[in-house]
Amino acid sequence: MSESTNTRALRIVALGGGGGSAQVLLGTRPFFAERTAIIAVTDSGRSTGTARMIANIPAPGDLRNLLATLAADPDAVLPRLMQHRLRSSAVPLLDGMAVGNLMIGGLTQMAGDIAAAVELARQMLGCPEQILPVSTANTHLCAELVDGRIVVAEAAVRALGKPAIRRLFLDPPAAAYPPAITAITNADVVVIGPGSFYTSLLATLCFEGIVTALRETSATVVFVCNTTTQPGQTDGMSIADHVTRLVDVLGPGVLDVTLINDTTELHPAVVARYSAAGLHPLVFTETDRQAIRALGVEPLVRHLAESDPGYRELWNKADTIRHDPQVLGLALWKIALDRGKP
């Protein structure tokens, strides 16, 4: 631990989707003075996809969720309105639409791009974190499957019952938002995950400049592995498989640490409930440990999962075992202290 790490303000960047990045940033508020989210913009699901079509914008859904969660008062009217989903049998296109998606669409048209729109929303909500889209480009996530087929748009990439994903790409190709590159460059810790492995985490790495920034930054790069597999994305993958795929994208020597949840703490009833929905807890094994260390990455196994909250109804997505923000934040702070910049 360097003296400078003790005395200067720590900076953390969370890279991924709206849910996982919220857990990281909420948990690190007591420990990191500067907190930045770099958020995926390629979702094409029902509400977000409709908003993209209406306003001709990058995907607003993950940004909306993060803005509402990180608001100065998440229970105030405006953040709750952003998360509210319209009910409209008369206009099926808008049935289930999150009001915040339309708000971001309107702000984008007013301000000129989605980054400016998000900054306006951040100020209105009083979010203390910096929130950045990974790109201002309106592009789509595509994938080549192991059987050679190409699937187009994020909803198809995560669709159930298809062969495994071989590689991801954007159509059209797009560059990252320059302030996102700057944030990665200046960070002490960059956190990838937790979140949808292909459609949020690896999707952000598809934008030109992000992987290069991760390779060049002096920050400690941490992967927070998901607690379970994800139907349509990581079925049958082990923890080591996740890390291997991430290292394949980043290149050797970039990823420093993988934070892994200790599944021995999970109640059997919780495991059974999620397994019945096709989300199987990722169990860390000695084989995983050896494989991850062979990649030059340090595996850290901790009890990171939240207490069982019971079943949660999510819009158009499967629930999962989430990380406890406070425990996760503490673990990331310790990593920052132990591996601080000189």
CATH code of the domain covering residue 228: 3.40.50.10680
pTM here?
0.93
- Whether 257 is covered by a domain: the verdict is yes
Beta-sheet pairing, 140-145 with 150-152: antiparallel
Q: Which of 128, 149, 177 is the last residue of a domain?
A: 128
- Whether 152 is covered by a domain: the verdict is no
Same domain, 123 and 184: no
Same domain, 252 and 330: yes
| Phi, psi of 220, rounded to the nearest 5 degrees | -75, 125
Domain count of the fold of the chain: 2
Same domain, 111 and 236: no
Same domain, 223 and 282: yes
- Whether 196 is covered by a domain: the verdict is yes
Question: Over its length of 342 residues, how does the chain's per-residue pLDDT go in tens digits?
Answer: 343 444 469 999 999 999 999 999 999 999 999 999 999 999 998 889 999 999 999 999 999 999 999 999 999 999 999 999 999 999 998 999 999 999 999 999 999 999 999 999 999 999 999 999 999 999 999 999 999 999 999 999 999 999 999 999 999 999 999 999 999 999 999 999 999 999 999 999 999 999 999 999 999 999 999 999 999 999 999 999 999 999 999 999 999 999 999 988 777 877 788 888 888 899 999 999 999 999 999 999 999 988 765 554 544 455 678 899 999 999 999 999 998 765
Same domain, 198 and 235: yes
| Domain housing 113 | 46-128
Same domain, 123 and 190: no
